[in-house]
Amino acid sequence: MSNPSLLILPGDGIGQEVMAQVRRIVEWYGDKRGLKFDVEEDLVGGAAYDAHGTPLHDDTMAKAQEADAVLLGAVGGPAYDDLDFSVKPERGLLRLRKEMDLFANLRPAQCFDALADFSSLKRDIVSGLDIMIVRELTSGSYFGEPRGIFEENGQRVGINTQRYTEAEIDRVARSAFELARRRNNRVVSMEKANVMESGILWREVVEAVHKADYADVELSHMYADNGAMQLVRAPKQFDVILTDNLFGDILSDCAAMLTGSLGMLPSASLGAPMENGRPKALYEPVHGSAPDIAGQGKANPCACILSFAMALRYSFDQGDEATRLETAVQQVLADGVRTGDLMQADDAQPVSTAQMGDAILAALD
């Protein structure tokens, strides 16, 4: 049997620097744990534009469709700010998400104990926090028609449409319930069924999926505005949160900040199962290309490394190995190893991107 395949797209700015550390970790798994991957590396974003005049070459798109998992660094940067909208680096990422039909965006908000003081909330409110937000990613207000700016009665009107089909709600609800079964068997679904018909349908379909196939999972519903309040009041009440594209965008960013640094946040975007049973999958850190620190060896590689841990868990069924990697990251942080983004004023010298990689590899050993 051939090895599972991994397509690596470092992209731009610190994407390349953090991905270099991930590559060392992928090699470690091959050498030390017998987990070998067929790794291919390609271009996305500004790097692809420079080489091909497009932020995602058709060949790269085809490779992504075939790969067992895609790992992406970050795209964009000031050099590309003046490009036409159609070839902007971000378009490469959007095309990947769209053509792979990645409808379930998984955003963990996990508070590493060593970093609890970086949270905007008190230590005891966030310490031990471990939430997973499942955000619908391919429909809702950001895609619904009609959309646009129109003239009406002599003034302009801006329109976006919150639109969900039953099938779209059904499939993302299943993703959330499946995930809950691998965690603590609890889902809170968030919408605004009190004021939005799309929210009423959302609640009905989630209920129906639950009743039909996931009655063993504890399900409750919450209005999204209350959900936002609860997230900052008592976030540890949540395990899996299921929500739509627009609310999920806001709630996941809000939850992310409870944990401290952008440099620590991984994500996964999953689609329908492929022939081999694995879901279409793209893993990437939440942060961007960080032009202010790019090329200086200052970037924190943890978000990208933890994205690879998510790939181990969700694409390759290696939950124990994923935990091994997450534990190594935690241990390194507990030992006080810090990149600049994790420093407080009176701390010692920050380590470089590569030194953080060294420390994590040493902890794995």
Binding site for ligand NAI (CB under 6 A): 14, 18, 74-77, 90, 93, 262-263, 284, 287-293, 299-300, 303, 339, 341
* Minimum CB distance to ligand NAI smaller for 19 or for 111: 19
Amino acid at 213: D
> Could you give the CA distance from residue 267 to residue 287 in angstroms, rounded to a whole number?
10
Contact 80, 46 (CB under 8 A): yes
CB burial class (10 A; 0-12, 13-18, 19+) of residue 310? buried
Name the closest residue to ligand NAI (Cβ). 288
* Minimum CB distance to Mg ion smaller for 39 or for 250: 250
Q: Does residue 335 carry a catalytic annotation?
A: no
Residue 251 CB, nearest approach to Mg ion (Å):
10
Q: Does residue 249 carry a catalytic annotation?
A: yes
Residue 302 CB, nearest approach to ligand NAI (Å):
7
Contacts of 13 (CB under 8 A, 6+ apart): 74, 76, 77, 288, 289, 290, 291, 294, 295
Out of 142, 223, 236, 358, the active site residue is 142
Which of 241, 282, 228, 235 is closest to 259 using CA atoms? 235
Q: Does residue 225 carry a catalytic annotation?
A: yes
Q: Hey, is 36 helix, strand or coil?
A: coil
Question: Applying CB under 5 A, does 253 fall inside the site for Mg ion?
Answer: yes
Binding range to Mg ion, per CB under 5 A, among 27-35, 101-109, 245-253, 279-287: 245-253
Any known ligand binding at 211? no
> Could you give the CA distance from residue 280 to residue 220 in angstroms, rounded to a whole number?
28
Residue 187 CB, nearest approach to ligand NAI (Å):
26
Q: Does residue 63 carry a catalytic annotation?
A: no
Q: Does residue 253 carry a catalytic annotation?
A: yes
Any known ligand binding at 252? no
Question: Applying CB under 5 A, does 244 fall inside the site for Mg ion?
Answer: no
Q: For the chain, report the end-to-end CA distance as a whole number of angstroms.
A: 27
Residue ranges that bind Mg ion, judged by CB under 5 A: 249, 253
